[in-house]
Amino acid sequence: MSIIERDMSCFPLVLERYPADFTNDDLQNFVEKSLHDPLLTSRTWASVAVIESTMKMMDPAQAKIWESFIRDSQEYMAKYCVGAAVVARTPLIRGMLNFVLTRGSTPMPVKMFASEPEACQWAVTQLENHLGSRYRHQYRRALGS
């Protein structure tokens, strides 16, 4: 069984990993937990999502789950999420994910990256723009410094 991981150890920087073999049930469970997570629904944060899957993210059932999640989370995402960095290693997958994400309007900035360090740096910049540098020590581990 595949599980989508969420690492909150560098909060307010949230790292998510989507393995290549996650199922629709895995995604639905992850989304449900996200909608009810007290940290994500009450404090400022930014995410870095690492997509290990290639074509899996374009499955129509998963696209519907994502669209529903974006719609259902609009209120708290607009209030608390200052940015989402998405890591997909190929230009084709980045383009396809960008298409899925733009089908429903996201309430926060979303940017595609080819590497995790670039994505983390962008997410940290988003956080610092909103929170200042007071949490910088928490980001160092995610940035590898």
- Tens of pLDDT, residue by residue over 4-24, are 999 998 889 999 998 888 888
How far apart (Å, rounded) are the C-alpha atoms in residues 134 and 65? 35
* Residue 140 parent element (H or E): helix 136-143
3-state secondary structure of 114: coil
Q: DSSP code of 73? A: T
Summarised one tens digit per residue, pLDDT across range 75-124 is 888 899 999 998 987 887 777 777 766 666 778 888 889 899 999 999 99
Summarised one tens digit per residue, pLDDT across range 60-76 is 888 788 888 888 888 88
> What CATH number should be reported for the domain whose range is 5-143?
3.90.190
How far apart (Å, rounded) are the C-alpha atoms in residues 94 and 109? 15
CA angle 111, 131, 135 (to 5 degrees): 95
What is the reported pTM? 0.84
* Residue 15 parent element (H or E): strand 13-18
- List CB contacts of 100: < 8 A, sequence separation 6 or more: 57, 58, 63, 66, 67
Domain ranges of the chain: 5-143
CA dihedral angle for residue 118, residue 124, residue 125, residue 127, rounded to 10 degrees? 150
Two tokens at 116?
């995790």
